[in-house]
């Protein structure tokens, strides 16, 4: 089943008009990437398939009250597949991040990093084998079959057929309201004292890194949802999307650094910072610069007016 584009239809658009093509797009992407993923001849396939699964999961979570879907394509099943791909993707990112930091490091640190590089390669081979096994297992095949069957005969609850102008404001303001009460918006750097700004950020992330990663995930889910409806709103709507994308990227960079640092410590032991002083300094500097990029956005979204403006924008959905 292929629905007519909401912009082209002469009938009032419904939520189903947006849900179906959104889910269909992710399904097509997943099928298209499968061969490259199984052959492991394009690392970008891992990333794109993981993103598609996450977008699909966000859509099913957001539209749950509008959908009647089989258990095999539910949130739990999608999460299981995405986590498997995530382990490979994380290692790919670690390898890229590691390579970037390794450039121009002194000889005294290169020897230690050889051990880390070898472990990254070994771990990725192990995880890509697990992914290949997972994609050939019954659960994944049932997931694809369930998704295909739903697309051939989509099942909705009555709310999905309501005119979108009457339901979308409530849906989006509910999601953004939950986002804006996340505690990560209020974590401040000036509560920490340290010998340098870099070490202050390092201290903060040691204590609040999980909270900031949680904020990143919530921003990402909100962004994925809002990206489905730019045609319903004026240009200012896209400015908020740009902000959410930037937050996603900033804390993605920080998370990559934290995961890499943790991996290096696991391979080389707790004394790795003394063995790799230049490497550790570069990670700390990168985190500090990313935090500097975050602070103007954080300060802007701490302002009540900025959040109210977005909520009012969402309430003014076009008919």
Q: Is residue 117 part of a domain?
A: yes
Average pLDDT of span 140-166: 93
User: How far does CA 23 lie from the centroid of its chain?
Assistant: 17
Distances in whole angstroms, Cα of residue 35 to Cα of each of 29, 46, 126, 129, 302: 11, 11, 19, 14, 45
The Cα–Cα gap between 274 and 258 comes to: 17
Both 177 and 299 in one domain: the answer is yes
SS3 content of the chain, % helix, strand, coil (to 5): 80, 0, 20
Average pLDDT of span 244-258: 96
The Cα–Cα gap between 73 and 148 comes to: 10
In the prediction, which pLDDT does 266 show? 92
- Please report which confidence band the pLDDT of residue 10 belongs to, taking 50, 70 and 90 as the band edges: low
- Please report which confidence band the pLDDT of residue 71 belongs to, taking 50, 70 and 90 as the band edges: confident
The domain spanning residue 94 has which CATH number? 1.40.20.10
Residue with the two structure tokens 């997972």: 134
> Is the predicted pLDDT of residue 6 greater than 60, yes or no?
no
Q: In this structure, what token pair is assigned to residue 47?
A: 């990333």
In the prediction, which pLDDT does 102 show? 87
In the prediction, which pLDDT does 317 show? 53
Q: Is residue 173 part of a domain?
A: yes
Both 212 and 194 in one domain: the answer is yes
Query: Between 304-315 and 236-268, two packed helices, what is the crossing angle to 10 degrees?
Result: 120
What one-character DSSP code corresponds to residue 65?
A: G
| 202 phi-psi bin (left φ>0, alpha ψ -120 to 50, beta other) | alpha
Q: Work out the angle at residue 219's Cα, subtended by the Cα atoms of residues 154 and 31, and round it to the nearest 5 degrees.
A: 40
Q: Is residue 204 part of a domain?
A: yes
Average pLDDT of span 162-177: 93
**Residues in CB range of 281: below 8 A, 6 or more apart:** 198
Question: What is the torsional sign of CA 186, 192, 198, 199?
Answer: negative
Distances in whole angstroms, Cα of residue 165 to Cα of each of 91, 110, 153, 169, 239: 43, 59, 25, 7, 21
pTM score, whole prediction: 0.88
Q: Is residue 156 part of a domain?
A: yes
Average pLDDT for the chain = 90
Q: Work out the angle at residue 153's Cα, subtended by the Cα atoms of residues 149 and 155, and round it to the nearest 5 degrees.
A: 105
> Is the predicted pLDDT of residue 64 greater than 80, yes or no?
yes
In the prediction, which pLDDT does 288 show? 96
Question: pLDDT digits over 24-44, tens only?
Answer: 999 999 999 999 988 888 889
In the prediction, which pLDDT does 2 show? 40
Q: In this structure, what token pair is assigned to residue 158?
A: 């009555």
Average pLDDT of span 212-237: 94
Residue 127 CB coordination number (10 Å):
20
Both 123 and 92 in one domain: the answer is yes
Q: Is residue 5 part of a domain?
A: no
Residues paired with 14 in a beta bridge: 163
In the prediction, which pLDDT does 1 show? 40
Q: Is residue 1 part of a domain?
A: no
Both 302 and 192 in one domain: the answer is yes
- Please report which confidence band the pLDDT of residue 84 belongs to, taking 50, 70 and 90 as the band edges: very high
Question: Which of 162, 187, 218 lies at the terminal end of a domain, its last residue?
Answer: 162
**Residues in CB range of 190: below 8 A, 6 or more apart:** none
Looking at the structure of the chain, the number of domains it has is: 2
Both 189 and 264 in one domain: the answer is yes
In the prediction, which pLDDT does 171 show? 92
Question: pLDDT digits over 119-130, tens only?
Answer: 999 999 999 999
Distances in whole angstroms, Cα of residue 160 to Cα of each of 1, 16, 82, 88, 167: 16, 5, 27, 36, 9
Both 16 and 137 in one domain: the answer is yes
> Is the predicted pLDDT of residue 156 greater than 90, yes or no?
yes
> Is the predicted pLDDT of residue 239 greater than 50, yes or no?
yes
% of the chain at pLDDT higher than 70: 94
Both 21 and 149 in one domain: the answer is yes
Q: Is residue 44 part of a domain?
A: yes
Both 67 and 167 in one domain: the answer is no
Question: Which of 162, 189, 224 lies at the terminal end of a domain, its last residue?
Answer: 162
Both 191 and 275 in one domain: the answer is yes
- Between 280 and 195, whose confidence is greater? 280
Distances in whole angstroms, Cα of residue 285 to Cα of each of 105, 199, 217, 255: 15, 9, 23, 14
Question: Which of 122, 137, 162 lies at the terminal end of a domain, its last residue?
Answer: 162
Element (H, E) at 51: helix 43-62
Question: pLDDT digits over 97-118, tens only?
Answer: 998 888 888 989 988 889 999 9
Average pLDDT of span 236-262: 95
- Please report which confidence band the pLDDT of residue 270 belongs to, taking 50, 70 and 90 as the band edges: confident
Q: Is residue 77 part of a domain?
A: yes
> Is the predicted pLDDT of residue 226 greater than 70, yes or no?
yes
Question: What is the torsional sign of CA 184, 190, 191, 195?
Answer: positive
Both 157 and 186 in one domain: the answer is no
Both 106 and 231 in one domain: the answer is no
User: How far does CA 151 lie from the centroid of its chain?
Assistant: 25
> Is the predicted pLDDT of residue 299 greater than 90, yes or no?
yes
% of the chain at pLDDT higher than 90: 77
Provide the domain limits for residue 68: 12-162
In the prediction, which pLDDT does 65 show? 87
Both 16 and 130 in one domain: the answer is yes
């Amino acid at each position: 089943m292929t629905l007519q584009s909401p912009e082209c239809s002469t009938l009032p658009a419904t939520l189903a008009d947006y849900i179906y093509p959104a889910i269909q797009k992710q399904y097509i992407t997943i099928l298209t990437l499968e061969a490259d993923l199984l052959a492991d001849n394009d690392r970008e396939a891992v990333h794109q398939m993981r993103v598609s699964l996450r977008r699909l999961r966000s859509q099913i979570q957001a539209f749950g009250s509008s959908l009647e879907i089989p258990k095999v394509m539910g949130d739990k099943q999608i999460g299981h597949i995405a986590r498997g791909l995530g382990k490979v993707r994380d290692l790919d990112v670690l390898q890229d991040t590691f390579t970037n930091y390794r450039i121009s490091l002194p000889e005294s640190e290169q020897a230690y990093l050889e051990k880390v590089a070898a472990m990254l390669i070994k771990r990725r081979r192990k995880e890509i084998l697990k992914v290949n096994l997972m994609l050939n297992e019954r659960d994944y095949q049932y997931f694809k079959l369930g998704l295909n069957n739903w697309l051939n005969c989509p099942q909705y609850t009555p709310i999905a057929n309501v005119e979108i102008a009457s339901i979308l404001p409530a849906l989006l303001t509910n999601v953004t309201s939950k986002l804006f009460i996340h505690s990560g918006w209020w974590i401040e750097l000036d509560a920490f004292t340290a010998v340098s700004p870099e070490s202050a950020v390092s201290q903060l992330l040691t204590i609040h890194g999980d909270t900031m990663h949680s904020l990143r995930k919530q921003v990402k889910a909100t962004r994925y949802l809002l990206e489905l409806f730019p045609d319903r709103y004026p240009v200012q709507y896209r400015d908020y999307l740009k902000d959410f994308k930037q937050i996603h990227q900033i804390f993605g960079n920080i998370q990559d650094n934290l995961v890499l640092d943790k991996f290096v410590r696991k391979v080389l032991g707790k004394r790795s910072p003394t063995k790799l002083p230049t490497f550790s300094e570069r990670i700390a500097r990168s985190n500090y610069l990313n935090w500097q990029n975050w602070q103007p956005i954080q300060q802007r979204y701490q302002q009540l007016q900025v959040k109210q403006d977005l909520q009012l924008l969402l309430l003014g959905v076009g008919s």
